[in-house]
Amino acid sequence: MARDDGESIDLFEPLIVSEDAPQRAALNDLALELAEKSAAFRAGLPDSIGAALADLVRSMNCYYSNLIEGHNTHPIDIERALAGDYSADPWKRDLQLEARAHITVQKWIDDGGLEEPPTAPASIIEIHRRFCELLPEDLLFVDDPETKERIPLVPGQFRERYVQVGSLIAPSPGAVPRFLERMHQAYARAGRIDSILAAACAHHRLLWVHPFMDGNGRVARLMSYAMLRKSLDTRGLWSVARGLARREADYKAHLQACDWDRRGDRDGRGTLSEAALASFIEFFLRVCVDQVEFMSMLMQADRLRDRITIWAEEEIRAGNLPPKSDIVLKAILYQGSLERGEVDTLLGMSERAARRITSALLKAGAITSESTRAPLRPAFPARYAERWMPGLCPQI
């Protein structure tokens, strides 16, 4: 049984910035701004467009979250992995499997898989278990920097060893359940504003507890993603991971600062610095706002349709798509979906000729359909993201 040294759970207080803190009013305003912008973005997207976008954002979230950990798997390689197309290079294949694991867990979250709130210890364990169970064997070990020992990583199992991350000495292994339970109690009944702030607070406090031998960063970001998805009803249309990866140095500096002890009587009443926590919350929420604004700009209906239509016209001229494919694609983008039987009427062509165009667009990945009889819907493949949604996907 893991040893519990009996540390006081006050060691990682405050768990949220107090109402009377000088920074609190500005943080509340920022949380409201994020809520309003996220709601406006969500409301402006047809459901079918939103569903297609959520699939792409899932790959982007995976790419950027893994990039923070030093694992660079391009979204196109991630897309190939989802189709079962793996690299012959063992390391690249391992990273593709890791990416597929991340996406599988996020889709499970998106589909309502979490039975308890994201901060519940059971949820944290389940996120880690589901992610690690899908990892290749080579990624299920942790190398001890001092002893050089290869320590096996057990999916969903709290660490049984003492750990130090930089200057932070994490709680004793047996104390992990106590700290996580306290964290969950602090955030479980949070109101609208507090639940948004808590996504940032819990992000750091989970990393401070460092419950697992490895995978804590991915679990923390998936947990925060799930918290924001619930409190803001984001529907997976945007993610903070892209912004955190683009400001990785600032992100890690803020997390490190949150490990600091309280600095004087004006720095809250907990053991850790309330000012540092407030600064991280502000950083985290501003990154969220930036990502919502970026996605809102990217998904402006007219501009998005124009970019995709221009791409289709170029593909037709290059002989990669049949003539009139752009008309079908534009109709699907305007309406959100199109019945297969309507394509021949739309184009004034025979049913057979219409089927040829539909098949070509499906093969190209520009549209999708759940079955041979289901409506045609838009798709946003990662391989077209650079043209269709510039800036979202890293260039090859």
Determine the Cα–Cα distance for residues 380 and 54; give it in Å rounded to an integer. Answer: 9
| Beta-carbon-side half-sphere exposure of residue 391 (alpha carbons within 13 Å) | 10
Given a contact cutoff of 8 angstroms between Cβ atoms, the answer to whether 393 and 386 are in contact is: yes
Encoding tokens for residue 100?
Answer: 């597929």
pLDDT value of position 307:
94
Determine the Cα–Cα distance for residues 365 and 385; give it in Å rounded to an integer. Answer: 12
Determine the Cα–Cα distance for residues 251 and 245; give it in Å rounded to an integer. Answer: 8
Given a contact cutoff of 8 angstroms between Cβ atoms, the answer to whether 336 and 46 are in contact is: yes
Partner residues linked to 150 by β-bridges: 143
Determine the Cα–Cα distance for residues 163 and 11; give it in Å rounded to an integer. Answer: 16
Encoding tokens for residue 133?
Answer: 């169970």
Sign of CA dihedral 313, 319, 320, 323: positive
Give the closest residue to 118 by CA, choosing from 225, 242, 223, 1.
223
pLDDT value of position 245:
95
Domains and CATH numbers, the chain: 46-298 (1.10.3290.10), 301-388 (1.10.10.10)
| Beta-carbon-side half-sphere exposure of residue 338 (alpha carbons within 13 Å) | 25
Given a contact cutoff of 8 angstroms between Cβ atoms, the answer to whether 186 and 175 are in contact is: no
Determine the Cα–Cα distance for residues 365 and 87; give it in Å rounded to an integer. Answer: 21
Q: What's CA 86's distance to the chain center, in Å?
A: 23
Q: What global pTM score does this model have?
A: 0.92
Given a contact cutoff of 8 angstroms between Cβ atoms, the answer to whether 37 and 289 are in contact is: yes
Per-residue pLDDT of the chain in tens (396 residues, 90 and over written 9) = 789 999 999 999 999 999 999 999 999 999 999 999 999 999 988 787 888 888 899 999 999 999 999 999 989 999 999 999 999 999 999 999 999 999 999 999 999 999 999 999 999 999 999 999 999 999 999 987 777 788 999 999 999 999 988 888 999 999 999 999 999 999 988 888 999 999 999 999 999 999 999 999 999 999 999 999 999 999 999 999 999 999 999 999 999 999 999 998 888 889 999 999 999 999 999 999 999 999 999 988 888 889 999 999 999 999 999 999 999 999 998 888 999 999 999 999 999 999 999 999 999 999 999 998 899 999 999 999 889 999 887 766
Encoding tokens for residue 70?
Answer: 């030093």
Write down the residue that tokens 């043209």 correspond to.
Answer: 387
pLDDT value of position 196:
96
pLDDT value of position 170:
95
3-state SS, residue 395 = coil
